[in-house]
Amino acid sequence: MQDCITLDAMRIFKEEGKEILSLGFSPFHKVNDSGEFRHSRLLTRIFQFAYEHANYVFEFKALAFHKNRYRPGLEGCEESKVYCAYKDPMRFDLLISIFKLMGIDIIEQTISRLIGR
């Protein structure tokens, strides 16, 4: 059903002359150091771990899989990276803020998972 709605919306937007449609981002999908910027190895590992093992907090893999079905790499489709930058050394309060900006309350959702709610 979601695919039908998305594809129909894409068709309508194209008819209206829209040239760009963003499906949003897939948190932690393809997090790596491609050498473009200095990066935090710790933050990279935390994001990679979350993508692989914290799907009970947020459907990281399912969302990436779904968006990938729209065929990035074909003509007219592209996948773009989103970067997270900050001046100070890694602080976990900032990491929690990053999660919250994405609508993820990692502490609450982890506690709920542990107590079986």
Expressed as residue numbers, the domain containing 60 is 35-117
Does residue 86 lie within any of the structural domains?
A: yes
| pLDDT computed for residue 46 by the predictor | 84
For a pLDDT cut of 90, what percent of the chain falls above it?
8
Count of CB atoms situated within 10 Å of the CB of 99 = 19
For residue 79, is it within any domain? Answer: yes
> How many CB atoms sit inside 10 A of residue 95's CB?
19
Among all chains, which residue has been given the structure tokens 């093992």? 53
At 52 the pLDDT is 92
52 vs 111 pLDDT, higher one: 52
**In this model, does residue 26 exceed pLDDT 80?**
yes
Q: Does residue 76 belong to any structural domain of this protein?
A: yes
Can you give the pLDDT at residue 1?
Answer: 63
- How far apart are alpha carbons 4 and 91 in whole angstroms? 42
Residue by residue, what is the 3-state secondary structure of the chain?
CHHHHHHHHHHHHHHCCCCCCCCCCCCCCCCCCCCCCCCCHHHHHHHHHHHHHCCCCCCHHHHHHHHHCCCECECCCCCCCCCCCCCCCCCHHHHHHHHHHCCCCHHHHHHHHHHCC
Query: Is residue 83 assigned to a domain?
Result: yes
Asked if residue 80 is part of any domain, the answer here is yes
pLDDT at residue 16 in the model: 95
**How many independent structural domains does the chain possess?**
1
- Residue 8 lies inside a defined structural domain of this protein: no
pLDDT value of position 89 = 66
Tell whether 105 is covered by a domain: yes
Q: What is the pLDDT of residue 3?
A: 77
pLDDT digits (tens, 9 = 90+) for 41-96: 887 888 898 899 888 888 889 989 988 887 767 777 888 887 777 676 667 777 77
**pTM, rounded to two decimals:** 0.64
